[in-house]
Amino acid sequence: MALSQILVPHIQKAVEALFGISVEKIELQATRREFEGDITMVIFPLLKLVKSNPNALGNAIGQYLVDNTDEVEKFNVAGGGFLNLVISDTFYINFFNSIKGDENFGTQKPVEGGKAVMVEYASPNTNKPLHLGHVRNVLLGYSVANIIEASGKKVYKTQVINDRGIHICKSMLAYEKFGHGETPDSAGVKGDKLVGNYYVEFDKVYKREIETLINEGQTEEDAKKNASILKEAHAMLLKWEAGDDAVVALWNKMNGWVYEGFEASFKNIGVDFDKNYYESNTYLLGKDVVADGLEKGVFYKKEDGSVWIDLTPDGLDEKLVLRRDGTSVYMTQDIGTAIQRVKDFPDVGGMVYTVGNEQDYHFKVLFLILKKLGFDWAANLYHLSYGMVDLPSGKMKSREGTVVDADDLMDEMVSTAKNISEELGKLEGYSDEEKTRLHRIIGLGALKYYILKVDPKKRILFNPEESVDFAGNTGPFIQYTYARIQSLVRKAEFDFSVTLAVEDINLHEKEKELLKMVAQYPEIIQAAAEGHSPALIANYTYDLVKEYNSFYQSVPVLGSEVENERIFRIQLSKKVGETIRSAFGLLGIGVPERM
C-alpha cells in the first residue's frame, strides 16, 4: 500500500479527534529537498474548516501523528502552511519486505466486471507508408493503453484504417496509368512504400497539368479543378462507391499490399491492436443516429435538407452532420463508429482518441454531440491531443515525398546506436548477433524515450544523435543503469528470498531516498493513467535511475563488509531494476540484460 494511502486515514482521524470535523480530501506531496521530511501535507485547505493559524494547526496534527502512529517519527511546519512528516525507517523496511518478491509491484489487475477503455491510435491512410508523425501517435497510444491497463482497467487497442476516399483513388489511378503491373515483389519494396510512390507520382502529374492550364490562361483555382487527372480520380471514386468490379479489385489488391507493409512496420516498432476498423465499412455509419436525433430534437433540418446541430449555447458553433444530398460528413462517421464500438464491446465505458492537436475542435464537438444523444459513456471520452514532430530539416509533406518514413527512421536509429556504441566501446567482447540485438534495443529505446518523455501536448524537435546519448535524460542512459544492476545481481552469491528483520538493517540516508522513490511507483502509474501521460512514467524512471546512481556511488553494494548491508543493498538494487523494467515496459521500451 502506498504511503499516502496509509497516511490519509491517520490524518483524517487526527483532524476529527482534534477539531471534531471530518474531511474527505487530504492533499499530500513530496517534501521539497531543502526541508527535512519524506512527505508533506498541505494545510491551507483545512483553514476554511478550522479556525486556527497554519502553524498551530500543523503542529497539532503533526504531534498527534507522532503520538498515535507507527509511521510518523518527526515533523516540522514550513512556510506557514506545509506539514513535513519524517517517516520512520521501520515503515520503509517493512514496506520493502512486503514488495521485494512482488514482480507486479505498482500495477493492478482489472476489476472483475469493471468498465473497459478503448484506446484508438495509428489510424493511417492506405495511400502512403507510416511516417514520423505516425511514430509519435502509435507510441503515445500504445503506451497510454499499457498504462491504463496497469492502473487496473481492461483495455482494447484499436485503429480506424482510412482506406477510402479521393486520396486513395489518386494512388490507384497513378498505378493504373504508370504501374505497368509491377508488384512489391517485382519492385523489391514494401507494399505501403510502393503505393506511396504512386501517390507522389499522381501529385507530380497533377502539378504539371495545373501549370499547363495556367499557361493556357486559366486561373490557378480553375486549373486545380480542371486538371484531367484529378477528374479521372473523382470518376474512379464514383465507380468505387458504385461497386465497379475492376475498381474494387484494384482497390483490394493495393490495400492488401499496404496492410502487409503496415503490419511489418507495427511489428518493427513493437505495437499491436485488438481490433481494426476500416473506413470503407464505417463511412455510412451514423445516418440512423442522425435520424433518431432529429426526432429527439438534438439535430435540426435546414430548408435545403441538410441536418445540423446548434452548439452555440455551449460556446461552440453550428455543425453540419448530414449534407443536403443525404451523404454523411466525418462527424457523422465518427458518431456512428463510436456507437458501433460499444455495440462490439459492450463493457467499454470510455474511449481515448490519439489524434494530433489540429483536431482539437472536432473532438470537442464529437464528445458534446454524443453526450446530447444520451450515451452515458460519452462522459468518459478523451482526446489524447499531441503536437507535431519536427526534424531540423523542416516540415514534412506526404504528397511531395518529403516525409520521414517510419521504417527509415527506425533503421537510422539502430544505425546511430551502432555508431555511438562503437565509438564509446560499449559493446566490446560481444558477438555480432548480440551486438545487432543490442543496437536495436538501444536505438528503438532511444527513439521511444525521446518522444515519450515530452508532454504529449508539446511540439517536439527530434534529434536522432541527441536521443542516443548515454548520459542525461535519455533511453540509453536508463538502459545502461538497468544493465549495470543486472550485472550486480548476477555477481551476488546469496538466496534472494532471504528477508531481513527491521532490527537487522540500519538504513543509510541514500537507501531511504531510494526506497522513497520506489514507493512512489504505484501512484505514478495511477497519475499517468488519469492524465493520459507517458511522460510521467518516463521522467519518474529517469529520476529513479538518478537516485540509484547516487546511491551506487555513495555506498558499497557488493563491496560492503557487513553481510546484512550486502544482502539488503543487492535486494534493493534488484527491486530498482525490476521497477525500471516494468516502467519501460509500459512505454513499450526493452531493456538489455548486458550492455
The Cα 17–Cα 375 span in angstroms is 44
* Per-chain mean pLDDT for the chain: 93
Please determine, for residue 440, whether its predicted confidence score (pLDDT) is greater than 70.
Answer: yes
Question: Residue 45's domain spans which residues?
Answer: 3-87
Domain stops at, among 381, 400, 419 = 400
pLDDT score at 573 = 97
Please determine, for residue 394, whether its predicted confidence score (pLDDT) is greater than 90.
Answer: no
The Cα 510–Cα 267 span in angstroms is 41
pLDDT score at 400 = 46
Of 351 and 401, the structure prediction assigns the larger pLDDT to: 351
Which one-letter DSSP state was computed for residue 242?
Answer: T
- Pair (56, 13) in one structural domain: yes
Residues 528, 529, 531: CA angle, nearest 5 degrees: 65
Please determine, for residue 7, whether its predicted confidence score (pLDDT) is greater than 80.
Answer: yes
- Predicted confidence band at 1 (pLDDT cuts at 50, 70, 90)? low
- Pair (8, 43) in one structural domain: yes
pLDDT score at 399 = 44
Cell digits of residue 257: 499490399
* Average pLDDT score over residue span 42-69: 92
- Pair (359, 508) in one structural domain: no
Residue matched to cell numbers 517517516: 87
- Pair (534, 499) in one structural domain: yes
Which one-letter DSSP state was computed for residue 303?
Answer: T
- Domain assignment present for 538: yes
What's the pLDDT tens digit per position in 272-285?
A: 999 999 999 998 89
- Pair (212, 244) in one structural domain: yes
Of 255 and 388, the structure prediction assigns the larger pLDDT to: 255
Residue 413 belongs to domain with CATH number? 1.10.730.10
Domain stops at, among 358, 380, 400 = 400
What's the pLDDT tens digit per position in 183-210?
A: 999 999 999 999 999 999 999 999 999 9
- Pair (454, 566) in one structural domain: yes
pLDDT score at 232 = 97
* Average pLDDT score over residue span 545-571: 95
Please determine, for residue 396, whether its predicted confidence score (pLDDT) is greater than 90.
Answer: no
- Pair (574, 455) in one structural domain: yes
Residue 195 belongs to domain with CATH number? 3.40.50.620
pLDDT score at 462 = 85
Burial group, residue 2, by CB count within 10 angstroms (0-12, 13-18, 19+): middle
User: 22 vs 19, 26, 29, 424, CA distance in Å?
Assistant: 9, 11, 21, 60
pLDDT score at 393 = 64
The Cα 189–Cα 94 span in angstroms is 58
Q: How many domains does the chain have?
A: 3
* Average pLDDT score over residue span 555-583: 95
What's the pLDDT tens digit per position in 365-387?
A: 999 999 999 999 999 999 999 99
pLDDT score at 401 = 46
Please determine, for residue 426, whether its predicted confidence score (pLDDT) is greater than 60.
Answer: yes
- Domain assignment present for 495: yes
- Domain assignment present for 458: yes
SS3 588: coil
- Pair (543, 455) in one structural domain: yes
SS3 217: coil
The Cα 205–Cα 285 span in angstroms is 35
**pTM higher than 0.85:** yes
- Pair (539, 424) in one structural domain: yes
- Domain assignment present for 307: no
* CA nearest to 262, candidates 136, 167, 126, 414: 126
Residue 58 belongs to domain with CATH number? 3.30.1360.70
What's the pLDDT tens digit per position in 302-336?
A: 999 999 999 999 999 999 999 999 888 999 999 99
Is there a contact between 585 and 431 (Cβ–Cβ < 8 Å)? no
pLDDT score at 244 = 97
- Domain assignment present for 442: yes
Residues 426, 584, 421: CA angle, nearest 5 degrees: 15
What's the pLDDT tens digit per position in 137-173?
A: 999 999 999 999 999 999 999 999 999 999 999 999 9
Among 302-316, 338-352, 379-393, 418-432, the range scoring the smallest mean pLDDT is 418-432
- Pair (18, 52) in one structural domain: yes
- Predicted confidence band at 402 (pLDDT cuts at 50, 70, 90)? low
The Cα 263–Cα 539 span in angstroms is 30
What's the pLDDT tens digit per position in 122-141?
A: 999 999 999 988 999 999 99
pLDDT score at 271 = 97
The Cα 207–Cα 499 span in angstroms is 74
pLDDT score at 4 = 84
Kindly write down the DSSP assignment for every residue of 97-141, as one continuous string. Answer: HHHTT-TTTT--PPPTTPPEEEEE----BTTS--BHHHHHHHHHH
pLDDT score at 395 = 45
When computed from its CA atoms, the radius of gyration of the chain, rounded to whole angstroms, is: 29
Domain stops at, among 400, 421, 437 = 400
- Pair (364, 422) in one structural domain: no
Which one-letter DSSP state was computed for residue 429?
Answer: T
Please determine, for residue 96, whether its predicted confidence score (pLDDT) is greater than 70.
Answer: yes
pLDDT score at 324 = 93
pLDDT score at 397 = 44
What's the pLDDT tens digit per position in 451-464?
A: 999 999 999 988 88
- Domain assignment present for 320: no
- Pair (371, 464) in one structural domain: no
- Domain assignment present for 101: no
- Domain assignment present for 334: no
